[in-house]
């Protein structure tokens, strides 16, 4: 599994492309640094998965038994809009229009490495998400999650 970290501001051009920062690319093994999958995130963002990580996650979800209604629904939502994307010769990624619409991505973006994937956020939505989150909220959430 590949882990990616860091927060980067980038700009979406008129064609729906953004430059993947060199510091993110350098965290990826050279053999997989150009092939990704983008899909809808669980928040108001997109997830950009290194191909290797996508294959692991997709296998785990798609191996769930189909006889359970929730499993079938999860598979459908997980794969809905999933698109394979590659870096172009200058390290840009083209985001499909349907996914840009889903996350309301227009120009200013934030890329946030969240371990197994990179979240792609509209910059204003990203800051709104964190503006209401206080250090006390963070401590309480950290304690709750770490003690589960």
> Alpha-carbon distance 78 to 80, whole Å?
6
Dihedral angle sign, alpha carbons of residues 85, 91, 94, 99: positive
**Hey, what are 77's tokens?**
């939502």
Rg (CA), the chain: 16
> Distances in Å between the alpha carbon of 80 and those of 9, 37, 143?
26, 12, 34
Nearby residues of 60 by Cβ (< 8 Å), 6 or more positions away: none
DSSP 19-80: EPPHHHHTTS-GGGTTEEEEEE-SSSSEEEEEHHHHHHHHHHHHTS-TTSHHHHHHHHHHHT
Tell if the pTM clears 0.85, that is, is over it.
Answer: yes
pLDDT per residue as tens digits for the range 29-75: 776 678 899 999 988 999 999 988 899 999 999 999 999 999 999 99
Alpha carbon 100 to chain centroid distance?
A: 12
Other Cβ atoms closer than 10 A to 125: 16
The mean pLDDT of 88-105, rounded to a whole number, is 95
First to last CA, the chain: 23
Where does the pLDDT of residue 11 fall: very low under 50, low under 70, confident under 90, or very high at 90 and above?
A: very high
Tens digits of residue pLDDT in 66-88: 999 999 999 999 888 899 999 99
C-alpha angle with apex 59: 56 to 64, nearest 5 degrees? 135
Name the average pLDDT for the chain: 91
* Structural domains of the chain sorted by starting position, each given as residue range(s) with its CATH number in brackets: 4-146 (3.40.1550.20)
């Amino acid at each position: 599994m590949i882990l990616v970290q860091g927060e980067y501001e980038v700009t979406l051009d008129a064609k729906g492309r953004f430059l993947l920062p060199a510091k993110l690319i350098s965290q990826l093994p050279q053999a997989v640094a150009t092939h990704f999958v983008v899909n809808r995130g669980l928040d108001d963002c997109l997830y950009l998965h290194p191909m290797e990580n996508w294959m692991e996650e997709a296998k785990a979800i798609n191996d769930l038994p189909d006889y359970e209604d929730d499993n079938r629904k999860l598979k459908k939502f997980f794969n809905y809009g999933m698109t394979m994307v590659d870096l172009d010769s200058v390290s840009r990624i083209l985001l499909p229009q349907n996914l840009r619409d889903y996350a309301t991505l227009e120009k200013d973006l934030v890329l946030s490495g969240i371990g197994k994937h990179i979240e792609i956020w509209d910059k204003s939505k990203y800051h709104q998400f964190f503006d209401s989150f206080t250090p006390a909220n963070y401590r309480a959430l950290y304690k709750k999650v770490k003690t589960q």
